[in-house]
Amino acid sequence: MQKFATKTLALILFLAAANISAQRTAFAQAVATPVPVEPAGGIDPSKLPDVQGLYLGTPADVAVARVKSLYPNTSRNFSPPS
């Protein structure tokens, strides 16, 4: 019985060590991924994901106009930052 327990413990330790090694390798590969370069013409907000027609990077005045058209009965004062 003790021999079985020893072999089981050895197998568990081996698998744990292999898992840690695999995680380190995956982390090293993720860190080595290069950062993409910004496009030469700048970022086009219309090509980015949108929520209710609002794109990340949309100018404030356009975004405020879009929110006002989507939610005309809001009681808050939406105005672009100055």
Torsion of the alpha carbons at 12, 17, 18 and 23, rounded to the nearest 10: 130
Most confident range, picked from 16-30, 33-47, 57-71: 57-71
pLDDT range class, residue 72, cuts 50, 70, 90: confident
Residue linked to tokens 């090694």: 21
Look at residue 30 in the predicted model and tell me its pLDDT.
61
SS3 82: coil
Question: What does the pLDDT read at residue 64?
Answer: 84
Q: Give the residue with greater pLDDT, 54 vs 74.
A: 54
pTM: 0.37
Tracing tokens 């982390």 back to the chain, one arrives at: 27
pLDDT of residue 65: 86
In this prediction, residues 15-22 reach a mean pLDDT of 67
Strand partners, 12: none
- What is the reported pLDDT for 56? 80
